[in-house]
Amino acid sequence: MHIKHFFLLSVLALLMAGACKNDTASGEQGEFKNGKPGASAKSAVYSCTLQSGYLMGVKLGMNVDTLAKKLKGGLTMEKLKTAKGEVETYIFQAANLESIRIYPIEKDGQKRVHVVEYAGSLCTTEKGAGVAMTLGDLRKLYPELAVHGSEEDGRTIATGEGWKFLLGTQVFTYGVDIDKMNQDIRVTAIVLQ
């Protein structure tokens, strides 16, 4: 087996072990010199379909300590400042090298995954909605989309067919008229909750 085939099979195995369900990979790998890719190497292109309640090996409700043990690189705790004070979050690197943020909740004396925030570019919903998509394009995929702002911190979320999309704007009122919004605002993250 050639080194380039071994490399691609290894990357695929890692992707399958920790990425989204329904993942695909395609791409080329250039020549290898001394066991390393040469200058002509191209990165493999990965994609995956997001599923409700599941992302890259993380399931909503799972124990945070169990998740930390499962992940090769573990979890990195990061506190985010919000209008209500600091919120504890955890970040991990998925097998496809994208960073995922989780928000835990205390339940039955254990920290459980309550929210997963995906800001990567490789995964989309089953309809093709992804990070960096405009609000106008998102509305074409989800015609019944509704937008709500946060009176406390301005986080603006578009919701449709069970999905939540964090938008790159701040609106400090809950009720938002989507028709009056700039349709070029982009999705900055997909939120699973």
Confidence (pLDDT) at 81: 84
Confidence (pLDDT) at 155: 87
CA distance 87 to 28: 42
Residue 188 phi/psi, 5° resolution? -105, -20
Confidence (pLDDT) at 46: 61
- Report whether 125 contacts 147 (CB < 8 A): no
CA distance 45 to 98: 13
Confidence (pLDDT) at 114: 94
Confidence (pLDDT) at 89: 94
Q: Which amino acid is at 28?
A: E
Q: What Å distances lie between residue 103 and 54, 90, 145, CA to CA?
A: 14, 7, 24
Confidence (pLDDT) at 29: 29
pLDDT in tens, the chain (193 residues): 444 433 333 333 333 334 444 444 433 322 323 333 333 334 455 678 888 888 878 899 999 999 999 888 889 999 988 777 899 999 988 777 888 999 999 998 999 999 999 998 888 999 999 999 999 999 999 999 999 998 887 889 999 998 999 999 989 888 899 999 999 999 999 999 8
CA distance 45 to 161: 28
